[in-house]
Amino acid sequence: MSAETQSTSPKNAPKNAPKATQKPNRTRTPTPPITRERVSNTDAIDRTLHAAQARLTAGLSPAALALAWRDWAVHLANQPARQMDLARQALEDAASITRVALGLDQPSTEPSPDDRRFTHPRWQDMPYSLYKEQFLRTERWWHNATTAIAGVDPAHERIVSFITRQALDAVAPTNIPLLNPEVTEAARTSAGQSVRAGLKNWLQDSAVALRHQTDLPLQPGKQVAISQGAVVYRNALIELIQYSPTTEKVRPEPLLIVPAWIMKYYILDLSPENSLVRYLTNQGYTVFMISWHNPTEADRDLGLDDYRQNGVMAALDAISAITGAAKIHAAGYCLGGTLLAIAAAAMARDHDNRLASVALFAAQTDFTEAGELQLFITESQLAFLDDIMWRQGYLDTTQMAGAFQMLRSNDLIWSRMIRRYFIGEQEHPNDLMSWNQDATRMPYRMHAEYLRHLFLHNDLAEGRLYAGDQPVAISDIAAPFFVVGTERDHIAPWHSVYKLHLLNQGPITFVLTSGGHNAGIVSEPGHPHRHFALLHRPADGPYRAPEEWQREAPVQEGSWWPELVKFLDAHSSAPTTPPSLGRDDAGYKQLEPAPGHYVHEM
């Protein structure tokens, strides 16, 4: 089905979603579809203006910002008692800072445990301890002033708090060279060579930025993504890689991995020692991987259902033809996991029983607690984002990377700037850092549908998302689930991933692992300082709240990858002879060696 026809549907959304354990009413109408594009001349003028504004606002909607600030200001203005409390706190902070400056008191304010900006020992010495004390008290005051204001819309509160935090972070003493003891000490001990090295780093990075091209330290097919295999299927959207077996016998049920298309697929096939692909092939599995095409302006009308049909379903059809397997395991990471859940629900609806199991890695199916990305998900912000993408046909890699960097500006922007440009340190990127630079674009239509139907309206969880010409429900999926959340995930918080328990009553094995959205998944055996907790809920088992689950699940040291293999083994047949690499007589030739062509698209 084409991108244009797949979104055709009735206009009015249902008022009430079906309960999690109920099948959806197939006659219910979905959230209004994303229209192809507005065509009037006045709209074109407005959209061009908004696209130009985005260059000055880092993609944030001025209207959304204005609405948020007005909401906050009006409610705070009508709370005189809260204003008096803030004024009292400001006076107390000023008095305390004065006493510290006069040497009458010691600094008493400490940063949060995850704030690593003030770890250098000299931040405990005057005058640097005074700078730190003043900044942390100011930061605390503004946090109290912008949060928990009665009556403020939660989305507006997130925006005001975020913008305030960004402004404060920009003027933190750690970011001002003369106020940062680490910078001044590096300049003194190196006789100024750190400043010279920092200037050199800045000139190099500026030259790369002017070329509008990313120089990857580690190249796919050379240092990373080097597992042996071949591209056995290609269409306009995907290449399907089949990896060579590394054991004499393999399980009859192959495994399809569906990665996110926000970045390149090879986060799951990095270096040989931390490649999930290599680990699974060494455990006796025939592994297939989707490698997504990096969309251009010509792909602007590709929709979410195109990704399902020409991505997941096309891959499953190819795997069935190549291996002859009656059952196929499937695993999805991040956005790829969400797409896999949609595809699995559509398969269940259509009585396609090929899935032996479904594994979701840091992937959400309910978006009511979708993490810090919710900051950018309001009607105003999405309309502005539509206009940015409308002009170019896609969301650019730099625009996407900028949004993620702002969410963790201290770690990804300011700390890097200080260390690279003021201290003069050279970066030694590892495979995960190199992969993180290998971003992709997002088609205009698909990205708009994804943000509106999933993040804004939560249509998948509430039975309103259409796949093809009918809605789907996660409750229809009968295959057992293996679900992984990570403790420090800012993109798919584990509480959000855990909500699958409310949407499906089948057997679910849930794993909570240490690390974040990326490093928690790339958690190979032997990696130091890793742990995980795991509990299995049988079909129709009682629901545990996330906090209760965390109290009851025993914590184990090491990697969760062996647990995935145990799960797959439990739902697989006895090992047999490996299938051929591709299958000429079925029309699936070996087109080229892995990692293929699409992974190199810039």
User: Using CA atoms in the order 392, 394, 595, 218, what is the torsion angle rounded to 10 degrees?
Assistant: 80
Q: Which residue has the tokens 């003021």?
A: 422
Contact by Cβ (8 Å): 286, 242 = yes
Helix (H) or strand (E) holding 435: helix 431-436
Pair of tokens at residue 163: 């913008």
- The whole-angstrom distance between residue 326's C-alpha and the CA centroid of its chain comes to 32
Contact by Cβ (8 Å): 311, 258 = yes
Would you call 496 a catalytic residue per the annotation? Answer: no
Distance CA 106, CA 185 (A): 23
- Give the 3-state secondary structure of residue 557: strand
Q: Which residues pair with 531 in a beta bridge?
A: 557
Distance CA 343, CA 253 (A): 18
Distance CA 354, CA 513 (A): 29
| DSSP character string of 140-184 | HHHHHHHSS-TT--HHHHHHHHHHHHHHHHHT-GGGSGGG-HHHH
Distance CA 319, CA 332 (A): 16
Cα 213–600–519 angle (5° rounding)? 85
What residues contact 51, with CB distance under 8 A and at least 6 apart?
387, 388, 390, 391, 392
Distance CA 289, CA 569 (A): 19
Radius of gyration for the alpha carbons in the chain, expressed in angstroms and rounded: 26
Distance CA 381, CA 432 (A): 31
> Within 10 A of 235 (CB to CB), how many other CB atoms are there?
13
Q: Which residue has the tokens 């499953």?
A: 316
User: b/e for 307-343, b at 16 or more Cβ within 10 A?
Assistant: bbbbbbbbbbebbbbbbebebbbbbbbbbbbbbbbbb
- Check 334, 389, 423, 461 and give the catalytic one: 334
- Give the 3-state secondary structure of residue 250: strand
- Which residues form the catalytic set? 334
